Structure 1
C-alpha cells in the first residue's frame, strides 16, 4: 500500500482527512478522531536508520496505538518497530510498504482507531 492509497483508505473508512500540523515536516500527516481531536494514526516519512535499519533511505511508516501487552510481540514481526517518537509501550511503527499484508496492517489501524476512541465507545464496531 502506498501513501496515497493509505490516505484514501483513511478518508473512506473513518471520514478522516489528514492534518499536517508541522510546517517543518510537511510529509507528516496526523489522523484524528473528529469529535475529540485525539490521534489514532501518524503517517511519517523518515530515514530507515531512525527505526534501527542500517539504511538512510526514506521510508513511509505509520505510528498506531496497540492494546496493552501487544507491542512487544507485534514488534517481533518484520516491518514492525518500536514507535518512533511515541510511547513504546502503547504505540508501534509499521512500514507502510513493508512485509506486512495490507489487510493485516489496516486491521491494526482499526484497532488503533477503537483504542483511541474517546469515552466508553471503545467497543464500537467498524
Structure 2
C-alpha cells in the first residue's frame, strides 16, 4: 500500500486530516483526535536501522499506541518493532513493507481507542449499611 492511499484511508476512517508539524521532516504525518488533539498515529520514512533492521535503506513506518501488557507479544509479529523515537512502553513501530493490512488497521483502531479522551468517571456513591 502506498503512503498516499494509506493517508487517505486513515483520514476517511477516523475523520481527521494528516498534519505535517515539522519543517525539518516535511513528510512526517501526524494523525490526531480532533476533540483532544492527542496523536494516535505518526507516519514516517526513516532509515531501516532506526527500528533495528540491518539494512541501509529508507522504509515507511507508522507509530501507534498499544497496551503496555501487549507490546511484548506484538513485537513478536512480523512487521512490528520497538517504537522509533517514542516511548517504547506505550508505542510500537509498524514496518509498512512487512505488516499485513488487516493487522495494521486493527492496531490503528486500538491506538485510536487508547487515545480517546475519556469522560470523567462519575463518583460512585456508597450507601451506608
Alpha-carbon distance in structure 2 between the residues aligned to 1:67 and 1:28: 24
The CA deviation at 1:11 is 1.0
Q: How does 1:19-98 map to 2 (within 5 A)?
A: 19-98=19-98
2:124 is aligned to: none
Greater Rg over alpha carbons, structure: 2
Alpha-carbon distance in structure 1 between the residues aligned to 2:91 and 2:2: 21
- CA deviations on 1:55-87 (whole Å, 9 max, x unpaired) are 120100100000121111100112111000111
Alpha-carbon distance in structure 1 between the residues aligned to 2:2 and 2:119: 33
Q: Is the 8 A contact 1:11 1:17 kept in 2?
A: yes
**How many residues are paired up?**
120
Alpha-carbon distance in structure 2 between the residues aligned to 1:58 and 1:68: 28
Alpha-carbon distance in structure 2 between the residues aligned to 1:96 and 1:8: 15
Alpha-carbon distance in structure 1 between the residues aligned to 2:119 and 2:9: 25
Local SS of the residue matching 2:69: coil
The CA deviation at 1:104 is 1.3
The CA deviation at 1:36 is 0.9
1:113 is aligned to: 112
Alpha-carbon distance in structure 2 between the residues aligned to 1:62 and 1:89: 16
Local SS of the residue matching 1:56: coil
